[in-house]
Amino acid sequence: MTAIPERKDVKESDKWDLKPLFADDENWEKLYKKIENDIKGYEDYRGKMSLSLEAFRGTIEFDLEISRDFEKLYTYAHLKSDENKSEQFYLAMYQKAMNLYTRLSESSSFMTPEIQSIEEGVVRKYMEDPSMKDYGFYLEKILRYKPHTRSYEIEQILAQSGEVGHAPSQIFSQLDNADMKFGNIKDESGKEVELSHGNFSTFLISPDRETRKKAFFQYYESYDNLKFTIAETLSHSNKKDQFYAKVRNFKSSREASLFSDNVPVEVYDNLIDTVRENNEPLFKYLQFRKEALGLDELHFYDTYVPIVSDIDFNMSYEEAVATSIDALAPLGTEYCGIMKKGLLEGWVDRYENRGKRSGAYSSGCYDSPPYILLNYEPKNINSLYTLIHEAGHSMHSYYSKNSQPFISADYTIFVAEVASTFNETLLSMYLLEKYKDNNRMKAYILNREIDNIRATLYRQTMFAEFEKRSHAIVENNEPLTLDVMRAEYYRLLDAYFGDKLVIDDVLSLEALRIPHFYSAFYVYKYATGISAAIALADRVTSEGDSARDAYLNFLKLGGSMYPIDELKTAGVDMGSPEPVKSAIAHFGHLVDQLLEVYGRL
């Protein structure tokens, strides 16, 4: 049997190098104690921000210095904890960091109400001083939040509630990554393998239908065994969102979430409406998939297996890096050189080990490299796409942090998903050109790109609508029970996939396994992101240097503007439904191409 390796058995060269953060755990402890002591200094500033420009600026700079130190502390703790979620030492370190963050937030909670209490004309005069040039957008956002900021005493209480508010997410993470087991399963060759988050998607692309069907039902059996606990956890996460929205005078949790990005709720609704009104290309594809696979019925476990099944994909991590570099050549030698060095020399934790956090992400802080967590599977083409996706995030971080001061370096998730899916789009363009004379491989790549857009545009929009509905249930003072969640999710599955997909009852449990639901109203950004990315990739490949430079300059903006304004500088207006309509048209064109190429096989 092939078992998941222990962390200690993974080669050092396959792990990320966290020494740029801390040489060892002892140095982490030293900074932890320093910050604990420094927090007391907030009392020297409280109540004095209105006295003078010097006092005003001094308070902000003191806060930024501590925040920058804490960012290093937190990043190391969460990365170490994610290496093995069952490792109690690093779980304790992570919990200490979160507790410290709560105390830090509590101690600094006077700042926003105090800034807002100063006459706006005085604040704007301060902003005009040359010494405040880096703080303009930071202060604009604080002034904009004035109707949603409470008194110092209430802000202090809200800050104290930080750890409690994080509890649903943390409980789900521990259940999902540390406690949940999926048992062993035989692959199509008869070899017994331990089923996991990391290889579940690999089983779903197995050409043997019985293998992927068994993996599907066995995987969801684990969620079925914990369904009441997870449903209650998700319900309380939504209630937490409602609590904070109400306290801050927002009409809804959704409005509260979108406010920070200055994204109107109409953008969210336009996305759902546009996708809902343009599902014919998806239905056409699902019908073709059923016919191409020779099935009487199409089930969810049939939607990821490649339609061209005799392509033996096997790409080592190093080969995947080289392929990614070639695909991103339109972005220039500087971009590609930086990315190649990072991916091969310490940015990436490459492979699955027992207890490791599932999925993939890019993380880091202002004073560290942009780290990437992967669970790379050489036989799964999705791993190649995941690598180039996370590298897009990391290069965005690299350019942002090398172009912006600390206060404006962190970009929003809204634009983050553009940088990552842009890279995926270029990869598909590259592979289609590389295999243009090989109909079988071309059909394979078209199939993969169609499935990616289906999962990112259609499916993430469905997730977004579930979030909208489930939060509305809570906000209407109605119960959000397991049965209610499953019924709402089943209705959405039926609406988004019509009669083209047989919806097995256990698929409604999917609502219980999406980690992003604990970061409310996050997933819609994947769908808007891929829409913007498709438009930008088309510009960069068709218009050349000027479009490339505009795109790279967009990456350098960090968090110095609101996300919709940043995208306008790159040439895309996400305030309009047009990019989403264009992405759906692109999807339909790919489906037509696939049907044509497949017909020549």
The model's pLDDT over 131-169, given as tens digits with 9 standing for 90+, comes to 999 999 999 999 999 999 898 899 889 888 988 999 999
Angle of helix 524-543 versus helix 460-475 axis, rounded to 10: 150
The string of pLDDT tens digits covering residues 391-429 is 999 999 999 999 999 999 999 988 998 999 999 999 999
CB neighbourhood size of 333 (10 A): 9
C-beta of residue 407 within 8 angstroms of C-beta of residue 68: no
Q: What is the pLDDT of residue 295?
A: 96
The pLDDT of residue 417: 87
Strand 361-363 with 348-349, pairing: unpaired
pLDDT in tens, 185-213: 988 888 899 999 888 988 998 889 999 99
Q: Does the predicted TM-score (pTM) go above 0.75? A: yes
Q: What is the pLDDT of residue 183?
A: 94
Retrieve residue 148's tokens: 């949603």
Distance from chain centroid for Cα 487:
26
pLDDT tens digit string along 344-364?
999 999 999 999 998 899 999
Cβ–Cβ under 8 Å, residues 350 and 14: yes
pLDDT band, residue 587 (cuts 50/70/90): very high
- Kindly report, residue by residue over 562-586, the tens digit of the pLDDT: 999 999 999 999 989 999 999 999 9
DSSP lists the bridge partners of residue 502 as: 299
What pLDDT band is residue 74 in, cutting at 50, 70 and 90? Answer: very high
Q: Which two three-digit tokens encode residue 220?
A: 């969801």
CB contact set of 506 (below 8 Å; sequence gap of 6+): 216, 217, 220, 221, 224
* Residue 1: predicted pLDDT: 63
Token pair recorded at residue 586: 């692109």
Q: What is the mean pLDDT of the chain?
A: 94
Structure tokens at 452: 């990616």
Task: Mark out the alpha helices in 21-52 (DSSP H runs).
Answer: 25-38
Q: Which of 175-179, 300-304, 506-510 has the lowest mean pLDDT?
A: 175-179
Predicted local confidence at residue 155, as pLDDT: 86
Residue in 352, 390, 475, 510 annotated catalytic: 390
For residue 390, indicate whether it is catalytic.
yes
Find the helix or strand (DSSP H, E) in which 232 lies.
helix 227-247
Domains (ranges, CATH) in the chain?
10-165 (1.20.140.70), 271-331+380-601 (1.10.1370.20)
Question: Which of 488, 490, 466 is closest to 272 using CA atoms?
Answer: 466
DSSP states of 480-515 as a string? --HHHHHHHHHHHHHHHHGGGSB--GGGGGGGGS-G
| pLDDT higher than threshold 90 for residue 118 | yes
By DSSP bridging, strand 348-349 and strand 371-373 are: parallel
Backbone phi and psi for residue 362, each to the nearest 5 degrees, phi listed first: -115, 135
Q: Which of 231, 187, 228 is nearest to 210 (CA)?
A: 187
| List of residues 6+ apart from 424 with CB closer than 8 A | 385, 388, 389, 392, 452, 533
What percent of the chain has pLDDT above 90? 90
Tokens 């990437």 -> residue:
372
Is residue 2 pLDDT above 80, yes or no? no
Read off the amino acid at residue 298.
L
CB-based burial label for 257 (10 Å; 0-12, 13-18, 19+): buried
Place of tokens 């209610």: 484
Question: Does position 40 have pLDDT exceeding 70, yes or no?
Answer: yes
In the chain, pLDDT over 70 holds for what percent of residues?
100
What's the helix, strand, coil split of the chain in %, to 5? 70, 5, 25
